[in-house]
């Protein structure tokens, strides 16, 4: 693949490309002057790159059509993503085409915001930097995100050229306690590599590793490998955290200790392991550890944590009986004032169980290890407030939003002489800046990241920049040149830096591949002798202890708020609460009853540091003495989608609430909940939290699954007489509808969904939005249940939710492509019909919008276009320029008044069929993957031809756990779900 040459004219020939113009004026077709070598109009071109939506660094393939990026997929060759991608990665496209992006350089003056030329801006910056460097050392500050590799080194060198070392690699979640604990316990200040895939027993202390923690796509894949039911076996997963989020939904058991006591529990577990004689320790080390752990008697810990002694002993036994096991700590357990102690405790537990070196491995050179700490950020704030910084440059970070307001970033930042934002949006930080020099989005950038040890993951532009933006490294290089400094041997651009040391042919090959993926260098570690330096006490909390403890957690879709301007992510219902577009506070049903609160009641949440208002979501997944709020909303600036939406719970936190590692303690305060008397309707997509005996999402215990037993659904209650009657009716129906056989054998497209692998991460939903031009309908329409998502994640609670002994069932619900579809016979115009290859076809241009089909669909997977979401001027127009550039040209943009639904990505089926036919080859099983199947990090879906007995889907369908939802309706769905398997105690 060659780099895209700059196209002078980008138009291309062909039907179906020019969206939006139907008749009337003559369309114009503009051919290329010279055709680019890598573009065939109508055929996609892929570019390998790296996702920059979080620091994990998943490899991606960007699908482009006619030189526009239209879809992002995982890169199958990449060691982190292995071809899969999460919802946030899918939504990176909406960052590229965000209509609120800054379209060129700006300058803030007394008169307001003024456009400025790049040359003038560079000259102004170079002059200010020269003056700052001349006036003393460390007068320049550069804040970046989690950068690594070539550009990271360049930033440091550039900064040194201006006599400064004030560099901040700022991430909201920088895993300081984990790194510090590794240093304290093993002498290596590093985030270890966790091997979820080979663990047979998983114990998570708060780590939301299926949502945002470290590398969610990789961990979801590995978790599904370990925890998915296969050949009669699976790992057991126990989640220990005061709030049950998506990760803990997947746990076989949920333990909810008092917030802040996770570390004590881990130590008690380790002590119990030692006591039971199951520790993998020898010699003097064993004595030392035993001596230290002796302090943590099960009884005292049980009192502190609220977890029963018997449970501790049982967990310790199970944890060491399964080999290898893995304990991870993160999330809320690493976000209070005793976070570092907790992390040390979890390390110790792993060490005692013999997991260090097996499932917990230390490697050299992880990008996360270099991240700045929260205390580094507050030190910079202090320096700025003290007038010690003349020029501050912020790139790929928004500290004005992600630091607690009490940290005083904004006030200190204002004292800096020249503030420069290399931002894509006028976010909270950019709004404070004097110069706004918009950066390329990651899909337009160059880079070579070294996020994980052993890999060099390349970032390359997938298309020419959408707006008049420049990559920050290019601008910095130009500034250095202007200021007469020689940086990085005079490299003029990010591309030069990336290409350095690679011959053109090698560069091309590396770019095609996505990077260089070598084995990671392992480091063997031993417990240091003075690992027990710290005091192990439950952490202190601010505020009145009578009130509940506030847990603040990152949103799985909006992350730390950076995704808040992307419609796809706003409309993606929260993985746990199923609320979209809004902020909320989770309150336990008993607490809510005591306070007289119901879902939707707006309350004032007050801490010693501030107060916010948010609607209540009554939620059994929090302890009675805990309330929880997601981070991500509450932007005061940013784009139209994010601004003024919801509240930011960071406003409730104290700036000096840190732990021993200098990390911000997100969980550090009690709050007071007061009713305001107002109430709102939550934009929730949850129909019912209970299955009410419908048998939609089924689960079976491991012991039963091994015997080939399954959970029976309501169809099991049908009598034999009824069954015979149904069969007779079906036979007669078939006979009457019979119109002969097709001349040639036809495939039958079917799907299976393994619920023991599906984690509910919802990446499939966003992938579907991207692939199928699904409009974002907005908060108001979502409240009215008019969301258009073709696939949704249904979530049900099972069992008594008053305690912690309950389960969560999740099931992706999409068109079931029924063989005997209830939607088909009721369509008066044959818009809904059965295709020869076994799909429920939906012909948009035939549909007249009676909505009978949606009425008759038992699965409620048909969606009606109440508005002209694709038409300029409609009040709900969803594709403002340039968002419409992302539209998949292979899929019709639906108009008002038509019904739509999942098509099994029929455009991909037809594309593959046409390609096979033209090349005279046979379709290969697994060649066709709908968007949801392709992106699923857990590999829960199997898609293929059920008429082929050897296809993966045919084999998967035959699994004993297979069932059809609402089987008693005789719709004969084309989707078979495989029951979830829950591994109970001791199993």
Q: Does 26 bind other proteins (CB under 8 A)?
A: yes
| Residue (of 83, 80, 172, 101) closest to 555 by Cα position | 172
DSSP code string of 195-227: --TT-SEEEEES--TTTTSS-HHHHHHHHHHHH
Q: Does 30 bind other proteins (CB under 8 A)?
A: yes
Contact 81, 51 (CB under 8 A): yes
State whether residue 552 is helix, strand or coil.
strand
- The Cα 749–Cα 758 span in angstroms is 21
d(CA 902, CA 930): 10
Q: Which of 118, 292, 833, 885 binds other proteins (CB under 8 A)?
A: 833
Q: For residue 334, what is the DSSP state?
A: G
DSSP per-residue string spanning 649-690: GGGGS-TT-B-TTS-B-SS-BB-EEEEEEEE----B--S-SS
Long-range contacts of range 780-785, CB-CB < 8 Å, 24 or more positions apart? 781/866, 781/867, 781/876, 782/571, 782/580, 782/581, 782/683, 782/685, 783/681, 783/682, 783/683, 785/685
Q: Sheet with 112-115: list strands edge to edge.
A: 112-115, 106-109, 435-436, 418-422, 391-395, 140-144, 166-169
Q: Does 544 bind other proteins (CB under 8 A)?
A: no
Contact flag: residue 34 with other proteins (CB under 8 A): yes
SS3 category, 320: helix
Question: Is residue 897 a contact point for other proteins (CB under 8 A)?
Answer: no
Is 751 an interacting residue with respect to other proteins (CB under 8 A)? no
Give 642 or 827: the residue with its C-beta nearer to other proteins.
827
Residue 955, C-beta contacts closer than 8 angstroms, at least 6 positions apart: none
Contact partners, residue 207, CB within 8 Å, separation at least 6 = 213, 247, 328, 329, 330, 331, 333, 334
- Is position 31 an interface residue for other proteins (rule: CB under 8 A)? yes
35 binding other proteins? (CB under 8 A)? yes
Piece in contact with other proteins (CB under 8 A), picked from 11-19, 372-380, 523-531, 778-786? 11-19
CA distances from 527 to 155, 203, 339 (A): 36, 21, 19
Work out whether 111 is an interface residue with other proteins (CB under 8 A): no
Query: Does 891 participate in binding other proteins (rule CB under 8 A)?
Result: yes
In the complex, the smallest distance separating the C-beta of residue 66 from other proteins, rounded to whole angstroms, is 9
Q: Which of 115, 136, 291, 836 binds other proteins (CB under 8 A)?
A: 836
Nearer to other proteins, 741 or 950 (CB): 741
**CA gap 189, 183 in Å, rounded:** 4
Among 340, 886, 892, 951, binds other proteins (CB under 8 A): 892
- Least Å distance between CB 835 and other proteins? 5
| Distance in Å, CB of 488 to other proteins, minimum | 31
Report the C-alpha gap between 136 and 138 in whole angstroms.
7
Spatial separation of the C-alpha atoms in residues 100 and 425, rounded to whole Å? 7
Q: Footprint of other proteins on residues 728-747 (CB under 8 A)?
A: 743
Per CB under 8 A, does 15 bind other proteins?
Answer: yes
Q: Is 903 in the site for other proteins (CB under 8 A)?
A: yes
Stretch binding other proteins (CB under 8 A), from 49-57, 340-348, 474-482, 889-897? 889-897
Q: Does 33 bind other proteins (CB under 8 A)?
A: yes
Query: In the complex with other proteins, which residue's Cβ is closer, 691 or 772?
Result: 772
Using CB under 8 A as the binding rule, whether residue 64 contacts other proteins is answered as no
Please choose, out of 580-588, 693-701, 711-719, 841-849, the segment that lies near other proteins by the rule CB under 8 A. 841-849
Q: Which is nearer to other proteins, 2 or 486 (CB)?
A: 2
505 near other proteins (CB under 8 A): no
Among 19, 77, 595, 826, binds other proteins (CB under 8 A): 19
- The answer to whether 32 contacts other proteins (rule: CB under 8 A) is yes
> x/- contact string, 910-929, with other proteins (CB under 8 A)?
x---x--xx-----------
Q: How far apart are CA 642 and CA 570, in angstroms?
A: 8
State yes or no: residue 27 binds other proteins (CB under 8 A).
yes
Concatenated DSSP letters for 142-209? EEESS--HHHHHHHHHHHHHTT--EEEE--S---HHHHHHHHHHHS--SPPEE--TT-SEEEEES--T
Contact between residue 951 and residue 929 where contact means Cβ atoms under 8 Å apart: no
Q: Decide whether 12 or 793 has the Cβ nearer to other proteins.
A: 12
Q: Do 409 and 382 meet the contact criterion of CB atoms below 8 Å apart?
A: no
> How far does CA 477 lie from the centroid of its chain?
33
Residue from 1, 3, 42, 972 touching other proteins (CB under 8 A): that is 42
Task: Choose the stretch contacting other proteins; rule: CB under 8 A; options: 428-436, 711-719, 840-848, 964-972.
Answer: 840-848
| Shortest CB 921 distance to other proteins, Å | 12
Q: Interface with other proteins includes 849 (CB under 8 A)?
A: no
Among the residue ranges 444-452, 562-570, 755-763, 903-911, the one whose residues contact other proteins (CB under 8 A): 903-911
Instruction: Return residues touching other proteins (CB under 8 A).
Output: 8-9, 11-19, 22, 26-35, 37, 40-43, 743, 833, 835-837, 839, 841, 843-846, 890-893, 903, 906-907, 910, 914, 917-918
């Amino acid at each position: 693949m060659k780099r895209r040459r700059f196209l002078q004219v980008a138009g291309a020939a062909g039907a179906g490309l020019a969206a939006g113009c139907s008749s009337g004026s003559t369309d114009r077709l503009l051919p290329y002057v010279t055709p680019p070598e890598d573009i065939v109009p109508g055929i996609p071109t892929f570019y390998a790159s790296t996702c920059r939506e979080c620091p994990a660094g998943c490899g991606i393939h960007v699908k482009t059509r006619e030189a526009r990026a239209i879809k992002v997929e995982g890169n199958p060759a990449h060691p982190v993503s292995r071809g899969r991608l999460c919802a946030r990665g899918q939504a990176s496209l909406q960052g590229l085409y965000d209509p609120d992006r800054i379209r060129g350089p700006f300058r803030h003056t007394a008169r307001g915001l003024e456009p400025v030329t790049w040359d003038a801006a560079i000259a102004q910056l170079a002059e200010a930097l020269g003056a700052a460097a001349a006036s003393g050392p460390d007068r320049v500050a550069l804040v970046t995100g989690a950068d690594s590799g070539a550009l990271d080194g360049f930033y440091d060198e550039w900064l040194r050229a201006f006599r400064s070392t004030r560099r901040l690699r700022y991430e909201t979640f920088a895993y300081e306690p984990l790194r510090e604990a590794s240093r304290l316990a093993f002498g290596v200040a590093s985030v270890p590599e966790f091997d979820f895939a080979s663990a047979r027993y998983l114990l998570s202390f708060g780590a939301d590793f299926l949502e945002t923690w470290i590398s969610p796509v990789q961990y979801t894949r590995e978790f599904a490998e370990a925890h998915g039911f296969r050949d009669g076996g699976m790992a057991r997963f126990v989640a220990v955290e005061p709030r049950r989020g998506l990760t803990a939904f997947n746990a076989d058991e949920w333990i909810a200790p008092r917030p802040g006591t996770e570390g004590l529990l881990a130590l008690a577990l380790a002590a119990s392991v030692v006591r039971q004689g199951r520790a993998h320790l020898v010699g003097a080390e064993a004595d030392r550890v035993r001596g230290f752990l002796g302090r943590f008697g099960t009884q005292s810990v049980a009192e502190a944590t609220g977890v029963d002694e018997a449970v501790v002993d049982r967990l310790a036994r199970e944890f060491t009986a399964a080999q290898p096991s893995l304990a991870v700590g993160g999330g809320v357990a690493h976000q209070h004032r005793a976070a570092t102690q907790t992390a040390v405790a979890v390390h110790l537990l792993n060490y005692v169980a013999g997991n260090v070196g097996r499932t917990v491995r230390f490697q050299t050179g992880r990008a996360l290890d270099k991240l700045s700490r929260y205390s580094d950020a507050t030190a910079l704030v202090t320096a700025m407030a003290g007038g010690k910084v003349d020029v501050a440059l912020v790139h790929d970070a928004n500290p004005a939003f992600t630091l607690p307001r009490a940290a005083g970033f904004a006030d200190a930042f204002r004292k800096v002489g020249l503030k420069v934002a290399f931002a894509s949006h006028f976010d909270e930080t950019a709004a404070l800046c004097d110069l706004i020099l918009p950066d390329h989005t990651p899909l337009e950038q160059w880079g070579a990241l070294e996020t994980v040890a052993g890999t060099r993951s390349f970032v390359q532009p997938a298309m020419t920049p959408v707006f008049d933006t420049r990559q920050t490294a290019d601008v910095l290089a130009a500034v250095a040149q202007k200021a007469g400094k020689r940086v990085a041997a005079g490299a003029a651009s990010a591309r030069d830096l990336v290409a350095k040391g690679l011959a053109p042919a090698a560069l091309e090959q590396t770019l095609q591949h996505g990077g260089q993926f070598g084995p990671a260098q392992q480091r063997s570690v031993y417990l240091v002798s003075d690992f027990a330096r710290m005091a192990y006490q439950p952490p202190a909390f601010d505020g009145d202890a009578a009130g509940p403890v506030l847990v603040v957690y990152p949103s799985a879709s909006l992350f730390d708020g950076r995704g808040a301007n992307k419609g796809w992510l706003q409309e993606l219902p929260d993985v746990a609460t199923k609320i979209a577009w809004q902020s909320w506070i989770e309150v336990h049903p008993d607490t809510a009853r005591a306070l007289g609160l119901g879902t939707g009641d707006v309350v004032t949440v007050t801490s010693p540091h501030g107060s916010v208002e948010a609607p209540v979501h009554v939620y059994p997944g929090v302890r009675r003495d805990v309330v929880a709020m997601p981070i991500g909303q509450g932007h005061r600036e940013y784009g139209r989608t994010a601004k003024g939406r919801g509240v930011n719970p960071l406003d409730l936190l104290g700036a000096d609430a840190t732990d021993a590692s200098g990390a911000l303690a997100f969980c550090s305060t009690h709050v007071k909940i007061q009713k305001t008397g107002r109430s709102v309707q939550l934009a929730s997509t949850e129909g019912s939290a209970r299955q009410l005996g419908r048998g939609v999402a089924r689960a079976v215990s491991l012991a039963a699954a091994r015997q080939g037993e399954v959970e029976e659904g309501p169809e099991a209650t049908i009598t034999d007489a009824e069954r015979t009657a149904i069969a007779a009716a079906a036979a007669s129906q078939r006979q009457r509808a019979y119109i002969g056989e097709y001349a040639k054998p036809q495939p039958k497209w079917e799907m299976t969904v393994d619920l023991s692998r599906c984690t509910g991460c919802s990446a499939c939903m966003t992938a579907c939005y991207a692939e199928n031009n699904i409009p974002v309908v907005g908060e108001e329409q979502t409240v009215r249940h008019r969301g258009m998502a073709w696939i949704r994640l249904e979530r049900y609670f099972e069992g008594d939710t008053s305690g912690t002994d309950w389960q969560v069932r999740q099931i992706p619900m999409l068109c079931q492509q029924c063989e005997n579809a209830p939607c088909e016979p009721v369509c008066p115009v044959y818009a809904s019909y059965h295709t020869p290859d076994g799909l429920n076809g939906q012909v948009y241009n035939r549909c007249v919008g009676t909505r009978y089909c949606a009425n008759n669909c038992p699965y409620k997977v048909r969606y009606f276009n109440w508005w002209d979401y694709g038409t300029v001027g409609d009040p709900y127009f969803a594709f403002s320029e340039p968002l419409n550039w992302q539209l998949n040209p292979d899929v019709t943009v639906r108009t008002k008044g038509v019904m739509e639904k999942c098509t099994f990505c029929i455009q991909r089926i037809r594309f593959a069929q046409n390609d096979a036919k033209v090349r005279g080859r046979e379709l290969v099983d697994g060649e066709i993957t709908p968007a949801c199947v392709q992106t699923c990090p857990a590999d829960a879906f199997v898609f293929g031809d059920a008429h082929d007995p050897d296809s993966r889907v045919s084999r998967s369908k035959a699994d004993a756990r297979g069932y059809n939802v609402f089987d008693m309706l005789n719709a004969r769905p084309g989707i078979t779900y495989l029951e979830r398997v829950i591994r109970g105690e001791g199993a």
